[in-house]
Amino acid sequence: MPDLSLQKKTKRLRIYISEKDRWRGTSLDVALIETLRKNGIAGATVFRGIVGYGAHSLIHTIRIEVLTSDLPLVIETIDTPEKIAAVLDIIYPMVREGLITVEDVEIVKYTHRYLNPLPADKLVSEVMTPEVVTLSPDMSILQAWTRMLKNKVKATPVVDPSGRVVGILTDEDLLERAGIQQRLSVAIRMDANEINQELSNLEKSSLLVRDIMTQPVITAQESETLGVATARMVQSKLKRLPVVNHDGILVGVLSRLDILRQVAKVTYEIPAPNIPTGAVRTVSDIMSSEIPMINQDDDLPLIIEKFSKSDSHRLIVVNDEGVGIGLLSDSDIVTRVQPTKRRGILDALKKIGKPPVGKETAFDLMSPGLLTIPPDTSIVDALKRMLADSRKWMVVVDDKGHPLGLVDRQMMLEAIAVYEKKDPES
């Protein structure tokens, strides 16, 4: 089955015949449908008219007083120009009396139940996380960062005394506008002395949450469907949305993980061998072939250089045969080197200084073992493995273990979101 969701310009084929038309002992409409199916056309439908006339000017109608068994039929299908052109040569001689037309069609949406595992009809209130850590706009950044560290929350809604959302504060806001030295995922792995030193520096700041928070805030309504909220999240390039009720009061947070967990619960109603070919998208359809890799023997300065050039927080470590053997994150190199080098590494990662010299290699610093999958794994099955292992990344590999691409949670979310994808050139 061709994936027409990837097509824009297609052709519509219409065949006008009557109920009495025959082909090799069977009704022509059935013969045409079977021919279209055998030749790989995506789908076809037969429409039965209630009244009409053709070349002989005889009116055929379904009305009981002039009941006839020779009503007009229209067979319609839409497919790529190449497929339509090929099948035309086959069906042309089958239509001995009738009409065949072909016209240009622009596909706005083409889908299949197996292409859309998202339970889009669920309400946001059924999926969201109701317990929310919040901040006040009048909090100091010291108080805010302390609360975010304690709860390990990267993005925190800011609410006024009535509970209405007025902003959101992220660790990126604090990095860019308040002077903290690292992202939350790095900070929570540092020792207490280093964290206390940073908190001591923040204590001198007069900045409040309201001064650096992101506003206005994109939210979701608790009464909205999951399909609508997911599309908004993807189009806004966000990982989470504060959820409000009809009065604008915060009632929860809908995260990317909340949505992906719903998709991971999907089970198909028919056995996998009977699912139409091409109906279930695989990781090879969505993976990124740009793989941030580093050799196991690369030293600390080269590691930091690779991080800077890849604009990534993780690198795949490969051996001399090009086989993936581990994963190295920026938080790994910060927390696994000698404490005297950490400040220099943090500055180098922010591109404001040179990396410290060190003999540590990628092999020494990496987390061994990769979560790998073959390229023909379905998106839902890949997602189930990703969540079961609490991973944000998976490496797509060939049968010899060589990396072919990467998939992450954001790619998964974009793959299952249902919305009209605009042509950037239109």
Instruction: Tell me if 11 is assigned to some domain.
Output: yes
Instruction: Tell me if 14 is assigned to some domain.
Output: yes
Instruction: Tell me if 271 is assigned to some domain.
Output: no
Instruction: Tell me if 423 is assigned to some domain.
Output: no
Q: How far apart are CA 262 and CA 282, in angstroms?
A: 18
Instruction: Tell me if 295 is assigned to some domain.
Output: yes
User: What are the residue ranges of helices labelled H in 317-389?
Assistant: 330-336, 339-349, 362-365, 379-388
Handedness of CA 63, 69, 74, 75 (dihedral sign): positive
Q: Are residues 197 and 255 in the same domain?
A: yes
Q: Are residues 106 and 128 in the same domain?
A: no
> Peptide bond preceding 130: is omega within 30 degrees of 0, i.e. cis?
no
Last residue within a domain, chosen from 264, 290, 315: 264
Record the pTM.
Answer: 0.75
Enclosing domain of residue 73: 4-110
Handedness of CA 268, 273, 279, 281 (dihedral sign): positive
Last residue within a domain, chosen from 264, 296, 318: 264
Q: Are residues 161 and 52 in the same domain?
A: no
Q: The domain that contains 83 carries what CATH number?
A: 3.30.70.120
Q: Are residues 100 and 165 in the same domain?
A: no
Q: Are residues 95 and 140 in the same domain?
A: no
Instruction: Tell me if 273 is assigned to some domain.
Output: no
- 352 phi and psi angles, rounded to 5 deg: -120, 15
Instruction: Tell me if 420 is assigned to some domain.
Output: no
Q: Are residues 211 and 248 in the same domain?
A: yes
Q: Are residues 130 and 105 in the same domain?
A: no
Q: Are residues 376 and 291 in the same domain?
A: yes
Give the chain's domain count: 3
From residue 194, alpha-carbon distances to 175, 200, 271, 329 in Å are: 16, 10, 55, 19
With beta carbons less than 8 A apart as the criterion, state whether 278 and 3 touch. Answer: yes
DSSP 60: E
Q: Closest Cα to residue 52, out of 100, 17, 87, 104?
A: 17
With beta carbons less than 8 A apart as the criterion, state whether 384 and 264 touch. Answer: yes
Q: Are residues 132 and 230 in the same domain?
A: yes
Q: The domain that contains 313 carries what CATH number?
A: 3.10.580.10
Instruction: Tell me if 228 is assigned to some domain.
Output: yes
Angle CA 247–256–127, to nearest 5: 55
Q: Are residues 151 and 194 in the same domain?
A: yes
pLDDT tens for the chain, residues 1 to 426: 445 555 568 999 999 999 999 999 999 999 999 999 999 998 899 999 887 776 665 666 655 544 556 789 999 999 999 999 999 999 999 999 999 999 999 888 776 655 678 888 999 999 999 999 999 999 999 999 999 999 999 999 999 999 999 999 999 999 889 888 788 888 887 778 878 888 888 888 899 999 999 999 999 999 999 999 999 999 999 999 999 999 999 999 999 999 999 988 866 554 544 545 444 578 998 999 988 999 999 998 888 888 888 878 889 999 999 999 999 988 888 888 877 787 787 777 777 678 788 788 999 999 998 899 999 998 889 999 999 999 888 999 999 999 999 999 999 999 888 665 555 454
Q: Are residues 159 and 244 in the same domain?
A: yes
User: What are the residue ranges of helices labelled H in 189-282?
Assistant: 192-202, 209-212, 226-235, 256-264
Q: Are residues 141 and 253 in the same domain?
A: yes
- 162 phi and psi angles, rounded to 5 deg: -85, -5
Q: How far apart are CA 426 and CA 423, in angstroms?
A: 5
Q: Other CB atoms closer than 10 Å to residue 156's CB: what's the count?
A: 24
Handedness of CA 36, 41, 47, 52 (dihedral sign): negative
